[in-house]
Amino acid sequence: MLLISRRFLGLLVVLAGAPALGYAGPVPTPPAAESFPLGQFRLTALRDAQNVVPNDNSVFGVGRTPAEVSGVLAAAGAPTDKIALGVDALLVQGAGRVMLFDTGLGPRVHGQVAASLALAGVTPDEVTDVFVTHSHFDHVGGLATADGQSAFPKAVIHMSAKEWAFMRSHASNAGLVKAISAQVRTFEPGGMIAPGVRAVALVGHTPGHTGYEISSGGARLIDIGDSAHSAIISLAKPDWDIEYDQDPAAGRANRRALLTRLAASHEWVFAPHFPFPGVGHVEAKGDGFIWAPGKP
């Protein structure tokens, strides 16, 4: 149905209720919406799902050993047999816009973004803009309703030109591409694409993977998309390969460069796969980094 890696396929299969293929997969999660201010903007983290992956080097620490991964998890006080990830989206209201950053898994596979959006008091028709970090199904699945229609019919759907080309290159995306094509507006990263929203190329995870800097009244937060997946492992060991990165070398380089910059600037970060609400700071520690959750 959508652009997926082998592990994402496992996730999809589990969500659909099929045999688990030895893969832990997502934990059913109730909707949640957690709001906070950023300058004149009101931001809301929207919970979609949780994803639990085993500590077997199939996703995290590819080419390493489970013991190495366990060491990192134990040092952070986390369970060592599995790695728990959030799946979240971000709502930004302000400047006369209702802006949604990524859309979660979608209703076909029990994604909760639509329900979380309702908790935030927003209807799908009110969304004016959707910004896509990349076209993996846990970010674009929610662009369609359960019956395959556009989920946000009045929104402009912003996506980097490279990512839109990448998305359309997969026949499995045909239905979704058809549902949203008329609404898609592509861009080249590096500039402002909406009031208070600047697109930043963060290449490696996918060819057109994009982060979004959201600014208002001198305050700033960056949605880093899938530049880092685990708030523990991806930060402590940014140079370890993750199976989800399409270009692992570029993914490593992007991750270290981005985390280095964020630790220096100490700006607010939203990370869709960090523990809900996925908001906080990156801090340098040793040769890596740690996550400091918090809200503006």
Q: Which residues in this chain contact Zn ion in the complex, by CB under 5 A?
A: 138, 226
Which of residues 139 and 237 has its CB atom nearest to Zn ion in the complex? 139
- Measured from the CB of residue 136, what is the shortest distance to Zn ion in angstroms? 5
Which of residues 129 and 138 has its CB atom nearest to Zn ion in the complex? 138
Residue 33 CA to residue 121 CA, distance in Å, equals 10
Is 129:154 a contact under the CB 8 Å cutoff?
A: no
Which of residues 111 and 189 has its CB atom nearest to Zn ion in the complex? 111
- Measured from the CB of residue 226, what is the shortest distance to Zn ion in angstroms? 4
Tokens 């979380």 identify what position? 116
- Measured from the CB of residue 51, what is the shortest distance to Zn ion in angstroms? 8
Residue 211 CA to residue 68 CA, distance in Å, equals 30
Residues with Cβ within 8 Å of residue 30, at least 6 apart in sequence: 47, 112
- Measured from the CB of residue 37, what is the shortest distance to Zn ion in angstroms? 26
- Measured from the CB of residue 135, what is the shortest distance to Zn ion in angstroms? 10
Which of residues 38 and 224 has its CB atom nearest to Zn ion in the complex? 224
DSSP state letters, 76-120:
TT--SSEEEEEEEEEEEEETTEEEEE---S-GGGT--HHHHHHHT
H or E segment and range at residue 256: helix 248-265
Which of residues 226 and 241 has its CB atom nearest to Zn ion in the complex? 226
